[in-house]
Structure 1
Amino acid sequence: MRTAFRAASPALLATVSAVALLSAAPSFAQEAPDEAATVDEIVVTGTRVPNRSRLDTLAPVDVVSAQSLQNRGTTEFATALAQSVPSLTFPRPSANDGSDSIRPATLRGLSPDQTLVLVNGTRRHASALVNTNGVVGRGSAAVDLNAIPTAALDRVEVLRDGASAQYGSDAIAGVVNLRLKEASSGGGASLTYGQYLTKVKTARGERDEEDGATTTASAWQGFALGDDGFLTLSAEYLNRESTNRSDYDPRAAANGAVTARFGDPDVEQWTVFANAGKGLGNGWEAYGWAGYQDRDSSGAAFPRLRDNVNNVAVLYPNGFLPKVAVNSKDASLAGGLRGVIAGWDADVSLVYGRNALDFRTEDSLNSTYGAASLTSFDSGSLIYDQLVLGADFSRQFEAGLAGGPLNLAWGLEQRWENYQIEAGQAESYNRGSLNFSPVTPTVALSGGAQGFPGFQPSNAVDVDRDNFAAYADIELPITDKLTLAGAVRFEDYSDFGDTQTGKLSGRYDFTPNFALRGSISTGFRAPSLQQSYFTSTSSVIQDGAVVETGTFPSVSPVGTALGGRPLKPETSTNYSLGAVVRLGAFDLTVDAYKIEIEDQIVLSELIRDPALLTPLGVQAARFFLNGVSTTTEGVDVVGRYRLPTETVGDFDFTVAANFNDVSLDTDLAPGLFGRQRILTIEEGTPDVKVSAGADWRLQKWGATLRATYYGDVLQPGSVAANDYRTGEKTVIDLEGRYQLTDRVGLAVGADNLFDEYPDATPASLNSNGVLGYPYNSPFGFNGRFVYARVNLTW
């Protein structure tokens, strides 16, 4: 366990002090700031009361505008959001199969699937991928945030509070609500090009790299649908080349070269979104949205040198580097009606979402086929989809309360889910006629495609479930200073039964400038179909016989033999207490929290028990199980100061910090859930993250300066001697902008201006040179990214 509230490092103090000095700058003669700087953002996440502002909520909500997400070099939505919200972390794992392409984000250091993602207030579907390797978020199946282009967004609201009683499963850490643009006119486009210009300093040497060239083109257009409707269309195309931050390979056959590829995968993707609303008369409105993304990415597995036992010299005389390619097709479609029924504001919606992942293993071989092996394989597919029917009702009642009318809301939801695994082509998983190496007959060859064996027919599944939910939510303004709120929710799942959650919140405004707020709630997260049914196996030779090793469902014969049981929901208790300060152009929120989670679902270690497994034709197995409890404690601090001046422009200063501590308790046997997994949960995300920024605008000129401090993160080994760390790091981003005309703007900048890296992986722990840096690094390990952007508006 670590201590999040230890003495701040010099880098942290420098970051905060810089913003404090900026905020305390002389008060230039002030003019009325523009509307965007003075209007407190209206939020809809975490409250069902209309016209509630960000600073008036009973729980902390961050609001990130689309413009803020775009004023930076990265065009990845999840990366930009993590740079804007300190409690959100988006690591960039590599050499981890599908996790290279579908990367999970974490809120407050919790599992990626413990944060609920909404689009326009409705549940977003998860990815079909289960993160099964040693990454942060191992064992989770989370929403792919990068399936939403920033061009389609108006803003993002991040509720940093438990909200299962309001929204259902997954909202243990909080809620991310993506609000789409609603424009009936106007439009815009942007073209961004950038690449990494960096000096890579790994443990065995230095080299200059110019890679990761990225081109992003996006556009949006609003159309009027009569006098009371809109249609907003948006599209984005992205092409990114791979990066490589591997160390030099010390093995004799490598001749001291860089043989691996450790970094971002190649990506080519295009995305389209549409959002629409149309009045129907009599106070009714029809609305809906649709989106589709096609992403093709290719990450690298570990290299096979020419003397590798599984290499076939006829095919690869110099060895080979297998690629794991993933094609993700992500689709969503929603429609609904809003209006008034018997005095109740009603909203009925139907939302469908689907994610299909097709795997290919390329630049590879199946060594058991020898020289006759294919070099490219269809390795199978993962598919997840869900359909959600929801009905929400709310109404305000004059109850004689001094603070105003009470707000009562209730609703019903029915959800259907399906999960499938489809087998790859036979050569991707089969064993050919060769069982042992022709060169070393005592050494068994690995079956299936090297780098990523295909899913076998025995892995194929097609399962579904449904659940029903009902909730009630009330907010009571007792006086003009005191507001209380409560929510209860009932859910019934077809596979594990029912659960109930509740929440109580309160806020007291001592003065217009100062308020206290707090809440206590219970929460839950249902085991996903992916966790319940994912299976992936490969064939190996044991004592001359073919046996399987891999991941099995907990209720399969293999899982049951090892002690597996049907998965049950994770449960949580959340506590929060915070303060809100408003002093003119300055506002500050400080919110402390404690999250206790029981029965957390984790993926076990690979277990080898010949007595139990050999009769089942299995050599080694792992499975999902409940059995981990965590306690997360922390504090979020968010401050903002807006300073308009007559002579030197308008300034917007922000500082936001997250101090977070995760501790884990488990009575599972060490062989069932090991040291690396425990420490990744406790120390795999930063205990301190501070972001300080300044936006400046003067006539046609503008600039953004941002500094982000990341606390030390652990990359744990199986024993303490194999641990290594990222170190405490501060990353500086800078962008300058110039408006050529009313319609054309230019921007140039650098993310990670001073080319900061995490501490390199020690040479003694990197025998093949693959892992140049810790892949748990919360800001990645690519170095300086320079870019230019052209913006058009009309």
Structure 2
Amino acid sequence: MTNLRPTLAVAVSALALSYAAAASAQSVPANAPEATAPEAAANQDIVVTGTRTTGRSRLNSIAPIDVLSAANLQHQGTTELAASLAAIVPSIDFPRSSAVDGTDSIRPATLRGLSPDQTLVLINGVRAHTSALLNTNGSVGRGSASVDLNTIPSVALDRIEVLRDGAAAQYGSDAIAGVVNLRLREARTGGGASVTYGQYITDVTTARGARSEHDGKTVTASGWQGIGLGEDGFLTISGEYLNRGATSRGDFDPRKTPLTVRSRFGDPAVEQYTGYVNAAAPLGDTGWTLYGFGGYQHRNSTSAATPRINGGTDNNANAAALATLYPDGFTPLIAVESNDLTETAGIRGELSGWKVDFNVSYGRNQLNFNTRNSGNATYGANSQKNFYDGKLTYDQLVGGIDVSREQPLGEGTINIAWGVEYRRESFQIGAGEPTSYNRAPGAASALGGGAQGFPGFQPSNVIDKHRDNVSGYLDLEAKPTDKLTLGAAVRGESYSDFGETATGKLSARYDFAPWFAIRGTASTGFRAPSLQQQYFTSTASVLGTGGAVVETGLFPSTSAVGVALGGQPLRAEKSRNLSAGFVLRSGGFDLSVDAYQIKQRDQIALSENLSGTVVAALLAPFNVSAGRFLLNGIRSTTKGIDIVAHYRKATPAAGTFDLTAAANFNDIKVTSFPGNATITALVNGVSTSSTQALFTRQRIISFEQGTPREKVVGTVDWSLDKIGVTGRASYYGDVTQPSSGNGLAANDIHSGRHTIFDLEARYQLVKNVNVAVGANNLLDTYPDYVKLTSSVGTTLNSTGLVAFPYYSPFGFNGRYVYARIGLSW
């Protein structure tokens, strides 16, 4: 990293905070008994992620693992799983982008600043399916298709394990940054329910003025029930209902009087229903257990496109054409209906001394798109207002067998694990209704075809693609002595579309004493290009030369258009991961520090849009005027340090203190990227060339500075009898939203460095009833607003549509206050 002083400062601060808290908590009468049991339980979180050896705790693990309990997730105002994770784990970020079409509704999370699709997500150790959406606009994670964490409700979870280490050799594709394993609740008895209500109560200050907002009203009702199956089995049912209002944080729009906020720049309105089940039951006295889990979510999410203003200084031709329907203009709404399904069944037991686990899992995500409060300007007054825009569907079938056995090795033991997996994936695009994408005959060239805000998928975009993958692995973890642990893993993969790859991993840990150990790993990793990246197509019809209707948009790299522009079949992304760190513990205190380096090559990114006279001439045979595609060719190096300090102390007089100070320092450098493309075509019979950038400074800055390079989270959780309080302070380093194209650094937009404070207080009214009140972002902190002009005089905020950088790692909604009532039985 370029500067280790901040890292060292925070490491010292974390230690000081933890020891100071410990000293404070220990200021009790000398004869007070030691509360060792709760402390031991807190430090012995048994993990199953990153190891196939049973009984390994997070502090004894060979690689860094965070273990988050259901209480960790629940003691905050948000009920979104991704937002809850980001609030607790410094290495995870969940930007709340806006005005980026479908990504407003299906927002991706990142680990260690890497692409959202470079984190593998598991549910009960089984690979989860990704969303059907490819992020194609200017958000963090542009060009990726990742798992939508918000399809799993927090109420269904017992805990989450976050492996902060490359693990492709153990789990396969996508685990370049790490692994998030969601462990579902297992209960034979008991249950609970809660209702949470909250809203934003905030004062918004933008470049053109200030105002107060009370919006984003949210109601969440959730519950779970444990049911016994036979003598030892269980069935746990969980459900959640969420209704959240939209927020609006745009600036005042100067293009028309009166001066008012005309955009809806903020969170979408959401209504969703989610249900999950988790079950297991022994098969008599055979020693085998049948198990299964799954869930379904239906989500309706409505975000806003940019407003089309009729009149004023904007002179929007599309708004003028639709003035009969919308005299003052209109704001198109993008409605995304998501239907998400997960089903898994398996059997586990012992065969000839080997533990065997066989399971089959199916996952499916379908997104239906509609544009509302809109119009097709080419039809003018005869246009409809609401459109069906088509759908995206992704599904995944996974079958696997995992076999393991621990046996003696000299004076120690070795755990041998091996397995095979088969995976089948498919991706489809369905067309929208004709008026969502076409142009009326004879329409003026200045008018946009299709639905304003989100043109529908055209028949030429329709695809139905599939692929298969077979993989096998061997994972060894040996403990030749009480002090030394060694690990080795190797995995081979064969894909039907891009071929074969192999990865490996070596790990080691040495315990110098019960209170101090060092650990390290070295591994190679890969991420297969997703079907969405290979085949996603989205085009718009425009009026070309001579009045011909042509298309422009995003094309597969292997399509005729993609190949003409220089596209090639996508290759797998590759990585080399190194990590080293130490673990220190004493009583209720523990500290882990882990440094890492991740070198990547062949990273996949979305090219810039290639256009102009030469491009149009080249693509004329395909009835296309311009286009972009996904390509390999980016190399980067990520270096960082994770620090986690934790102290827990239970005292009879002062209550139980649970204190955590955690930090992530991350530095990403793009070391090489695709150069310019030289395109040659006959223009009016003359061979003409045009040089265009495939990958601009804007994309480089997004890679390097699109997530905070420093994030520090300090949490205090205290309880005494019927009272509990959780306080959290989160410091976010500056994030850069780059100026367009190859613009100047002076024109970049910065979020600034800010600290967010959260506070929740809880009280147990009676034995089974508790209430809580709290505030996220208690002090109503915002990122730096977008200025009217930059330091070099460039206009940055001419319309007022966007008031804050949508790269902001903590959003731009301000203070959120809430109340919760819970019931347990």
For 1:503-652, list aligned pairs within 5 A: 503-543=505-545, 544-608=547-611, 609-652=615-658
* Residue of structure 1 equivalent to 2:450: 448
Distance in 2 between residues matched to 1:777 and 1:117, nearest whole Å? 24
In 2, the alpha carbon distance for the partners of 1:503 and 1:15 equals 31
Query: How far, CA to CA, are the matches of 2:617 and 2:14 in structure 1?
Result: 58
The equivalent of 1:747 in structure 2 is 772
CA distance in 2 between partners of 1:451 and 1:15 (Å) = 48
In structure 2, the partner of 1:769 is: 800
Cα-to-partner distance string for 1:693-722 (whole Å, 9 max, x where unaligned): 100001000000000000010011021232
Aligned-pair distance for 1:257? 1.1
Q: Which residue of 1 aligns with 2:753?
A: 728
User: Does the CA-based 8 Å contact 1:731-1:754 persist in structure 2?
Assistant: yes
Counterpart Cα distance in 2 of 1:254 and 1:100: 29
Change (3 A) 1:362 1:15: farther
Matched, 1:715 2:737: yes
Cα 1:121–1:20 shift into 2, 3 Å: same
- Name which of structure 1's ranges 282-291 and 645-654 shifts more when overlaid on structure 2: 645-654
Distance 1:8 1:618 in 2: 51
Alpha-carbon distance in structure 2 between the residues aligned to 1:490 and 1:416: 16
- Pairs within 5 Å for 1:305-344: 305-307=309-311, 308-311=316-319, 312-344=322-354
Going from structure 1 to structure 2, the CA distance change for 1:774 and 1:3 (only over 3 Å counts) comes to farther
Quote the Cα distance in structure 1 between the aligned partners of 2:782 and 2:12: 20
Pairwise CA distance, 1:8: 7.2
Q: What is residue 688 of structure 2 aligned with on the other side?
A: none
Instruction: Report the alpha carbon displacement of residue 21 of structure 1 after superposing the two structures with TM.
Output: 4.0
The reply on whether 1:164 has 2:168 as its aligned counterpart is yes
SS at match of 2:762: strand
1:590 and 1:188 map into 2 onto residues whose CA distance is 37
The structure 1 residue matched to 2:433, chosen from 421, 425, 434, is: 425
Instruction: Identify the match of residue 474 of structure 1 among 473, 476, 499.
Output: 476
Instruction: Report the counterpart of residue 73 of structure 2 in structure 1.
Output: 69
Matches within 5 A, 1:647-658: 647-658=653-664
Q: CA deviation at 1:478?
A: 1.9
**Which position in structure 1 is the counterpart of 2:420?**
412
Matched, 1:250 2:249: no
Give 1:474-493 correspondences, 5 Å limit. 474-493=476-495
CA distance in 1, matches of 2:778, 2:9: 19
> Contact 2:14–2:662 at 8 Å: present in 1 too?
no
Aligned partner of 2:479: which letter?
P
Between the aligned residues of both structures, percent identity stands at: 58
Query: Partner residue of 2:308?
Result: 304
Q: CA deviation at 1:9?
A: 12
Query: Equivalents in 1 of 2:194, 2:659: separation in Å?
Result: 26
Distance 2:45 2:13 in 1: 30
Letter in 2 for 1:323: L
Pair 1:469–1:46, CA change in 2 (3 A): same
**Stretch moving more, 537-546 or 57-66:** 537-546
Indicate the residue corresponding to 2:101 in structure 1.
97
State TM-score, norm by structure 2.
0.93
How far the C-alpha of 1:597 sits from its partner, in A, is 0.6
Which residue identity does 2:141 align to in structure 1?
A: G
Give the Å deviation of 1:513: 0.4
Which residue is equivalent to 1:435?
A: 443
Hey, what's the Cα distance between the residues in 2 that align with 1:547 and 1:267?
Answer: 36
Q: Is the 8 A contact 1:12 1:709 kept in 2?
A: no
Offset at residue 343 of structure 1 (A): 1.2
| Distance of 2:212 and 2:18 partners within structure 1 | 33
Q: Contact between 1:601 and 1:624, CA under 8 Å: does it hold in 2?
A: yes
Alignment partner, residue 440 of structure 1: none
Q: Unpaired runs of 5+ in structure 2?
A: 677-692, 790-795
Residue aligned with 1:524, SS: strand
For 1:127, the aligned partner's letter is S
Q: CA RMSD in A?
A: 1.6
Of 720-729 and 748-757, more deviation after overlay is shown by: 720-729
Task: Give the whole-Å Cα distance in 2 for the aligned partners of 1:107 and 1:288.
Answer: 29
Gaps (5+ residues) in structure 1? 437-442
Match of residue 27 from structure 1: 26
> How far apart are the structure 2 equivalents of 1:746 and 1:593?
42
**Aligned partners of 2:406 and 2:25: how far apart in 1?**
46
Distance 1:597 1:269, change over 3 A: same
Q: C-alpha distance in 1, partners of 2:244/2:165?
A: 35
Q: Is the 8 A contact 2:7 2:665 kept in 1?
A: no
How much has 1:542 moved relative to structure 2? 2.2
Q: Which residue of 2 aligns with 1:276?
A: 279
* Counterpart residue identity of residue 385, structure 1: D
- Do the aligned residues in 1 keep the contact of 2:715 with 2:726 (CA within 8 Å)? yes
Other structure's SS at 1:137 match: coil
- Asked whether the equivalents of residues 164 and 177 of structure 2 are also in contact (C-alpha less than 8 Å), the reply is yes
1:685 and 2:707 are equivalent in the alignment: yes
Once the two structures are TM-superposed, the CA of residue 32 in structure 1 deviates from its matched residue by 3.8
Q: Distance in 2 between matches of 1:56 and 1:279?
A: 30
Q: Quick one: distance in 1 between partners of 2:36 and 2:253? A: 56
Asked if 1:701 corresponds to 2:718, the answer is: no
| Cα shift at 1:243 | 0.3
Judge conservation of contact 1:4–1:634 (CA < 8 Å) in 2.
Answer: no
Maintained 8 Å contact 1:296/1:328: yes
Which residue of 2 is the match for residue 439 of structure 1? Answer: none
Instruction: Give distance in 2, aligned partners of 1:79 and 1:639.
Output: 22
Aligned-pair CA distance for 1:547: 1.4
Secondary structure of 1:25 counterpart: helix
Aligned to 1:80, which of 55, 78, 84?
Answer: 84
Is residue 2:325 matched to residue 1:294?
no
Q: How many angstroms does 1:378 deviate by?
A: 0.3
Closer/same/farther in 2, CA of residues 68 and 37 from structure 1, 3 Å limit: farther
1:96 Cα deviation after fit: 0.4
Distance 1:419 1:26 in 2: 55
Answer yes or no: is the 8 Å Cα contact 2:17–2:661 preserved in 1: no
Distance 2:727 2:437 in 1: 51
**Other structure's SS at 2:329 match:** coil
8 Å contact from structure 2 (residues 429, 461) kept in 1: yes
Partner of 1:352: 362
SS in structure 2 at match of 1:681: helix
Q: What is the distance in 1 between the residues matched to 2:630 and 2:590?
A: 45
Match of 1:606, as an amino acid?
N
Partner secondary structure for residue 398 of structure 1: strand
CA shift, 1:22, in A, is: 3.0
Q: Which amino acid aligns with 2:456?
A: G
